[in-house]
Structure 1
Amino acid sequence: MATYRRAYIPGGTYFFTVVTHNRQPLFTKRQNRDALGQAFRRVKAKAPFVMDACVLLPDHLHCIWTLPQDDTDYSSRWRDIKKHASRNFLLPAKATGTWQRGFWEHVIRDEQDWQRHMDYIHYNPVKHGWASAPNNWPWSSFHRHVKKGWYDQDWGSNDTPSIADIKGE
């Protein structure tokens, strides 16, 4: 069995994919979305980070974080977010867990890599067939970024962005 080595860069920016156990669609329930939001706020209050982008889908989420300078500990943050959210999740009767073990991370290398992963995050609901365009998916940072002028409201509505080669799940 191969040993996976995580990359820890002080003050680094990372792309993450986190998946529910057995791909249960836990985030279709408002209570679970709210519990996850509360967990993020709780962890960020104790161990700050900047969340550049995020999208929440029924059975997984993607986000980009930037850690404080000299800080490399995203693993503890994810452990605590999962732990705190799970305590308040509403689970199906036959559920055997809440989260897939671990998570997938990628170190963002430069501005172009950051933009490609931002696009991947915001186009993900369309990719999975949950929305016809990024602006039609409510659980995404896309709307905040449109307000900032980073994206046009109709971005991804007519043309597929060139993000097909990104491995995020």
Structure 2
Amino acid sequence: MIAIPSCHPKRFYIENAVCFITTKTHNGFPYFKKEELCKLFIEELRVCKRIKIFELYDFYLLLDHFHLLLKPNGIYNISKIIQSLKKEFTRDANSLIVGEITESRQHEEGGGDNIEVAPPRLQGNKLIIKCNKTHPRFYWQKSFYDHIIRDEEDLLNHMKYTKYNYQKHNLPNNWQYTSLNYPELLDDINT
């Protein structure tokens, strides 16, 4: 019997490699037209960075996908980092969509009482987004795309691509959900 190759090639993990990550929402649905979900994503990214301890160099959240430029710390690989970010965001986004805030994941993962998943302005809201045909429950595409940065030129190209991605997607110049507006989330990169 001939083995049929998997449609998802095996991911390679290279220690100390900087990775460019892209993942999309299910069927490209523009969930991130909702400001509440954008703000929640930024908070989830902040929490995931603390829990999974990775270096973040750049990011951009668009209406139906995001880009991250990051370096895992060796404890958690990119699959574990993205799995955590997507899983926790999905849970909390769907809690907002149906109007129920769940307990912070830090209690579940042993991260301590001083870290909040959702920003205070979102906690306690009974109903932010109605779940209906125009705004379904939140889902991501399966898996994600990754690219291992090869050299300084490749890094600069991906940083430029990320920073100016709003133009490709016809978003306003002042699109808020980019690393340009959250410098406190970024680490210095040694090129």
Question: Scaled by the length of structure 2, what TM-score is found?
Answer: 0.67
Task: Trace 1:91-130 onto structure 2 (pairs within 5 A).
Answer: 92-94=131-133, 95=136, 97-130=138-171
1:33 matches 2:38: yes
**Partners of 1:11 and 1:108 in 2: CA distance:** 11
**Partners of 1:39 and 1:46 in 2: CA distance:** 10
**Partners of 1:108 and 1:16 in 2: CA distance:** 10
Question: Scaled by the length of structure 1, what TM-score is found?
Answer: 0.75
Q: Using the TM superposition, give the Cα deviation of residue 118 of structure 1 relative to its aligned residue in structure 2, in angstroms.
A: 0.4
For 2:177, the equivalent position in structure 1 comes to 139
Structure 1: unaligned runs, 5 residues or longer: 146-169
RMSD between aligned residues: 2.0
Q: Which runs of 4+ in 1 moved over 6 A?
A: none
For the Cα contact (< 8 Å) 1:38–1:85, is it kept in 2? no
Structure 2 CA distance for partners of 1:4 and 1:74, relative to 1, 3 Å: same
For the Cα contact (< 8 Å) 1:51–1:64, is it kept in 2? yes
For 2:116, the equivalent position in structure 1 comes to none
Structure 2: unaligned runs, 5 residues or longer: 1-5, 98-128, 184-191
Structure 2 CA distance for partners of 1:39 and 1:107, relative to 1, 3 Å: same
**Partners of 2:156 and 2:175 in 1: CA distance:** 19
Amino acid at match of 2:159: M
Identity, % of aligned positions: 30
For 1:167, the equivalent position in structure 2 comes to none
1:59 matches 2:64: yes
Structure 2 CA distance for partners of 1:33 and 1:96, relative to 1, 3 Å: closer
Q: Using the TM superposition, give the Cα deviation of residue 143 of structure 1 relative to its aligned residue in structure 2, in angstroms.
A: 4.8
